[in-house]
Structure 1
Amino acid sequence: MSKIEIKNLTFGYDTQGTLLFDQANLNFDTQWKLGLIGRNGRGKTTLLNILLNQLAYSGQILHQLDFLYFPQPIKEKKQLTYYVLQEISDFEQWEIERELNLLQVDPEILWRDFETLSGGEQTKVLLALLFIDDYHFPLIDEPTNHLDIVGRKQVADYLKKKRQGFIVVSHDRSFVDEVVDHVLSIEKSQLELYQGNFSVYEEQKKIKDEFELAQNEKLKKEVSRLKKTAAEKAEWSRSKEQDKYGKASEKGSGAIYDTGFIGARAARTMKRAKTIEHRMDAQLLEKENLLKDIEYVDPLTMNYQPAHHKRILTVEDLVLSYQDQPLFQKLSFELNQGQRIALAGQNGSGKSSIIRFLLNQFEGESQGEILRPTNLKISYVRQNYEDNQGTLLEFSEEQGLNHQEFLNNLHKLGMERTVFQNRIEQMSMGQRKKVELAKSLAQPAELYIWDEPLNYLDVFNQEQLEKLIIAVKPTMLVVEHDQVFLENIATQVISLDKN
């Protein structure tokens, strides 16, 4: 049974003032199905890249494995899926078809252009390719992105049946619950390993946080009491010192005073005050060492500007097609001010295509129409935002954003201020997603169109967005596969039926 041993791992990016890993030590079994979790920007993908030996680090990583990263890079998407996969790895056709069948995907997908596949379909074919390879250890980064509810369940079942171990990064709690038997959490100050699934981790983390908060309250009260006692002792000592010299000057009048006794007692009192002060300093240091891994989440802001029109969108008898093949059955709906409509349906049912059609970006055939007010101000969160680049200042100026509002929301989303100096293209995928979201939140808008906003976001961010939307009640059209999120924010769910 082989192991991966990490010894004194230290790593930080030159552009950041702090280290992501500082003398980190870890030992785990390669048969484990290990869930790697943590807030965005904490170093999950960085740790995978270190294992892949793509980043220089100090320390040691001992293993006898070859690693393989998911999602695999695609050089040319404008060709048949079968040939896209052949460029990544050698395989027999029956092998890829076997894995696709296990993922409940029609193998005919191999003979479609890769770029025409939905995000979920692309995820599944790349996962199928990953698990054909028995020789490499899989490092799976965010496999649930772009997968619908059914797809997530299919992939979870697929991974559960695999005999070999792997490391998987995901923010989908129910998904991690189903597929892992150990959890590695990247906390603010350390790496923590837990035996069990996400629910076990969450319960143990909650107990640990509650204990630290209780200890913190005790220490706060003790430090406050010690401060008061030290101040009283110091004040008594000073007053007695003054009394000693004052009384000594009166000796010429014939009065008898034991100034030596007073001085010795004052000195003892002062010494005791100093002892209390040292004890207080020690407890303050102990207090500082608590709460290092507790997450604080601030409320976000949104530049929503309600329209003067009650009716924001009217969709009448809409049908979208590729190569004369309709994506869904005829669709009609209305979106009024303050409503939040969620488009639901399996991958490939046309949800994102509807959004592209609304934004005049759809390249297929269309029937029906969409009515909306002239000059409607729309803020759009895209599934794919790799073209965001430059410094944050350059980006906000290019997008016409209020720079301070943009940065404030980025920080509230959990982006460290040290990362503000990085170029966007050098950021992690989670950080780049936050840039896309903070952009949308800062834009003055009458309608927000968000296409899979939760991809790459951690649990804390998901709850932040829920609270913001519930409080502000903006007009929205949303595509998202997280059932809990939709139940909390959507006023109406429209399900698309594939043709």
Structure 2
Amino acid sequence: MILSCQNICKAFGEKVILNDASFHIEDREKAALIGCNGAGKTTLLRIIMQELSADSGTVVLARDKNIGYLAQYQDIHGHHTIYEELLTTKQHIIDMERRIRNMEQEMNTVTGDELNCLMETYTRLTHQFELENGYAYKSELTGVLKGLGFTEEDYDKQIETLSGGQKTRVALGKMLLSKPDILLLDEPTNHLDMESISWLETYLLNYPGAVFIVSHDRYFLDKVVTKVIEIEAGQTRVYSGNYSAYALKKAQLRDAQYKAYLNQQRDIKHQEAVIAKLKSFNREKSIKRAESREKMLDRVQRIEKPLELQDRMRISLEPRVLSGNDVLHVEALSKAFPGQTLFSDISFDIKRGERVALIGNNGTGKTTMLKIINGLIEADAGKFSLGSKVQIGYYDQEHHVLHMDKTIFQEISDTYPTLTETEIRNMLAAFLFTGEDVFKEISALSGGERGRVSLAKLMLSEANFLILDEPTNHLDIASKEILEEALVSYTGTVLYVSHDRYFINQTATRIMELTNQAVVNYIGDYDYYLEKKEELTSTYAPGSTSPEAPAEEKSVSENKLSWQQMKEEQAKKRKREAELKKVEARIEELETRDSEIDETMVLPDVCTNVAECTKLSREKAAIAEELEELYEKWEELA
């Protein structure tokens, strides 16, 4: 065991955040800490790091072990470049290397015992240098930088010029390179693109120490963790397995608790009815029996209604007007900024009812694409058109259409005056605004809170084409699940940008990836995208073989097929795969029957029966004929 938390309690005023929270982390274990926003996850991490003191309870770190802590927001100062800042984690190796070089020089000037003594020290030091990966520390450093999404051009950027997200990535890189015995990571994937998150998953899986992660990224947790610690109503509960295993066990436990609650409620009502009936007889004996039953009922320990079943919100999204079948047509669209071409000659269509995820690395033009379609910026070339009766509802993290002088409640009620107070409160509760929170002014909200208000407004808009830019940012897992259910049942059309792979898997019917200035289409969810990514990228969006070749010289028609051709080709391939499985199943069925006939024909009561033998022989011949055709078909399909 490397870390133990025992009976941790913490309250702020009358609000209890942690109540008797207990758990432990084993050496090399990868564990997640999850819970709704405000449940106390960051508070618990800060107590572990002794940045906050607990009201009671103890935190025990194993002897001679050290912790590395990545907070959500980093404010790194100094005049270092990004490369120099990460290099500070290897200062002891640099000093060791310098000492080894000095000793090598010194060996040329000493003899006898002094040389022997120097050689012993040199051998010990070089061995230590090798153990600490001294010969490869520079490649390790550049590997971490590239893994976290920094290009070689970024290495010389000054720390003080970086954005908050870039500083957090630098801090994460420093921590990974310093290799503490236990990593405490608070939302480490917030500022990473998909490739960087995938790299981090692999890094943490192979990390030699323990890892304790706070994250709302369910796909990431599924890949990395083997234990989930949940904070709910101040209490901690430990589940073995990854996030999916936790979700299943949680649902089973919740169902069992709910059934126990319903059974007890039924028993209580039955006892109350019996007591009322006994009292109605109005006789001394019946009244005494009623009083006896009342005392027994008072002693019953009441089961609380499970928290997640108390009026759990369900958002219902329904477009007011049904659009035509053709929702969006994009033709030969191109966009570039000085020194950077985002995409060129891109064409695709979106049909009614599709839920399309637009993905790609940071800087490929995803948000720019959404802004062009929403008419906020102009394309350099190409055109797009909306179909009949299409009404766009747009969620843009950078341009929230909110009134700073209004409260959250006024913002919704003024926009949708027909909604009742209960309906408005229910919608806001789904986006984490409860109680007096709904009367906060928009101007006093954080960027994430304003985003959630904008998302709540959009969900009420009755638009039939939703365009969403990172809709799950700043939502906890429960709110993400509510949004997922709403989008899956939505009868309109959705186009969204997201880095949340679990969300994409749950909601997308199609994925479009912006890569190498082109778009690659995947008719399926995120798992299907991962399976086909390498194959389809090389076919439809190959990288330029010559970096010096101008983009204008690339023949787009030669490099990639149109979206329609891609769609048709993928559909044919999937149809062929389905047919292949069908043929294989029929072959297996016929071969099994053929074996059964052989076994049947040697039975004493069958081999002497001419009619039965003739019937079986004909069936066997028909099987042989059909099998011959199936084998040919299988070879053709395979």
Q: What TM bracket, shorter-length normalisation?
A: 0.7 to 0.9
- Quote the residue 2:537 is aligned against: none
For normalisation by structure 2, the TM-score amounts to 0.60
How do 1:177-326 and structure 2 match up within 5 A? 177-236=222-281, 238=282, 240=283, 266=284, 268-283=285-300, 285-288=301-304, 291-292=306-307, 297-302=312-317, 304-306=319-321, 313-326=328-341
426-435 or 56-65, larger mean C-alpha shift:
426-435
**Aligned counterpart in structure 1 of residue 21 of structure 2, from 19, 24, 29:** 24
Structure 1 partner of 2:81: 83
Q: Distance in 1 between matches of 2:392 and 2:18?
A: 41
Report if the CA contact (8 A) 2:70-2:171 is conserved: no
Corresponding residue for residue 429 of structure 2: 411
**Pair 1:328-2:343 in alignment:** yes
Mapped contact 1:6–1:24 kept (Cα < 8 A):
yes
- Cα offsets for 1:421-441 (capped at 9, x unmatched): 566788798766533421322
Q: Distance in 1 between matches of 2:33 and 2:216?
A: 9
Give, as a single letter, the amino acid of the residue that structure 1 aligns with 2:31. L
Matched with 2:515 is 497
The one of 457, 482, 502 equivalent to 1:464 is 482
Q: Deviations over 1:353-387 (max 9, x none)?
A: 21233456669x83333445999864333456899
* Residue identity in the other structure for 1:323: P
Aligned-partner residue type, residue 355 of structure 1? L
Q: Tell me what 1:138 maps to.
A: 183
Question: Given that residues 6 and 26 in structure 1 are in contact (C-alpha distance below 8 angstroms), is that contact kept between their aligned partners in structure 2?
Answer: yes
Matched, 1:47 2:47: no
* Residue of 366, 369, 379 corresponding to 2:393: 379
Amino acid of the residue matched to residue 451 of structure 1? D
CA distance in 2, matches of 1:113, 1:322: 23
| Structure 1 residue 138 displacement after superposition | 3.4
Corresponding residue for residue 68 of structure 1? 69
* Percentage of identical aligned residues: 27
Greater shift in the superposed pair: 39-48 or 300-309: 300-309
Which digits, 9 at most, give the CA deviation of each residue in 1:438-483, with x for residues without a partner? 1322346454221122234344333322332233323332112445
Point out the structure with max Rg over C-alpha.
2
Is the deviation greater in 473-482 or in 120-129? Answer: 120-129
Are residue 402 (structure 1) and residue 420 (structure 2) matched? no
Measured at CA, do residues 489 and 2 of structure 1 come closer, stay the same or move farther in structure 2, by a change above 3 Å?
closer
| Contact 1:226–1:280, Cα closer than 8 Å, also in 2 | yes
Q: Which position in structure 2 is the counterpart of 1:257?
A: none
Question: 1:119-150: CA deviations, max 9, x gaps?
Answer: 99887655323312345853322233465554
Q: Which has the higher contact order (CA 8 A, sep 6+)?
A: 1
CA distance in 1, matches of 2:406, 2:29: 40
Structure 2 distance, partners of 1:318, 1:461, is 35
**CA 1:156–1:87 in structure 2 vs 1: closer, same or farther (change >3 Å)?**
closer
Is the Cα contact below 8 Å between 1:71 and 1:126 reproduced in 2? no
Distance 1:173 1:479 in 2: 17
SS in 2 for 1:131: helix
Please report the TM-score for the alignment, with normalisation by the length of structure 1: 0.75
Task: String of CA shifts for 1:1-44, please: whole Å, max 9, x gaps.
Answer: 643435442223x6xx7422234344445753220112233232
Q: How far apart are the structure 2 equivalents of 1:348 and 1:329?
A: 14
State the one-letter code of the partner of 2:276: A
Q: Does 1:368 align with 2:382?
A: yes
1:234/1:269 contact within 8 Å kept? yes
How far apart are the structure 2 equivalents of 1:116 and 1:316? Answer: 38
| 1:496 counterpart SS class | strand
More displaced 10-residue stretch of structure 1: 196-205 or 380-389: 380-389
Q: CA deviation at 1:107?
A: 4.3
Q: How far has the Cα of 1:83 moved from its partner?
A: 2.9
Query: CA deviation digits over 1:157-216, x for unaligned, max 9?
Result: 111111222321223333213212322101235111234432443343234223222322
Do 2:404 and 2:441's aligned partners in 1 also have CA atoms closer than 8 Å?
A: yes
Letter in 2 for 1:271: K
2:220 paired with 1:175:
yes
133 and 201 in structure 1: CA distance in 2 versus 1, 3 angstrom threshold: same
1:155 to 200, 206, 211: 200
How many residue pairs end up in the alignment? 462
Identify the structure with the greater helix proportion: 2
Distance 1:488 1:3, change over 3 A: closer
Render the CA deviation track for 1:278-323: whole Å, top value 9, x for unaligned: 222333x4233x5246575321144744377776544321222243
Q: What is the DSSP-based 3-state SS (H/G/I as helix, E as strand, rest coil) of the residue aligned with 1:341?
A: strand
The equivalent position to 1:355 in structure 2, one of 364, 367, 370, is: 370
**Partner Cα distance (1:320, 1:385) in 2:** 20
Q: 1:474 to 1:53 in 2, by over 3 A?
A: farther
Aligned match of 1:128: 173
| SS of equivalent to 1:99 | helix
Structure 1: 5+ residue runs without aligned partners? 241-265
Secondary structure of residue in 2 paired with 1:454: coil
Q: Aligned partners of 1:386 and 1:141: how far apart in 2?
A: 27
Query: Which whole-Å CA distance do the structure 1 matches of 2:366 and 2:160 have between them?
Result: 16
Cα 1:429/1:281, change in 2 over 3 Å: farther
Partner of 2:467: 449
User: Aligned equivalents of 1:179 and 1:389: distance in 2?
Assistant: 41
- Return the offset for 1:229: 1.5
Q: Within the alignment, does 1:393 sit opposite 2:407 as a pair?
A: yes
In structure 2, the gaps of 5 or more residues are 91-136, 518-638
Q: Which residue of 1 aligns with 2:5?
A: 5
Structure 2 CA distance for aligned equivalents of residues 320 and 188 of structure 1: 49
Q: Distance in 2 between matches of 1:23 and 1:272?
A: 41
Q: In 2, distance between residues paired with 1:227 and 1:108?
A: 76
Counterparts of 2:23 and 2:403 in 1: how far apart (Å)?
35
Whether the 8 Å CA contact 1:226–1:276 is kept in 2: the answer is yes
Amino acid at match of 1:83: T
2:37 is the counterpart of 1:37: no
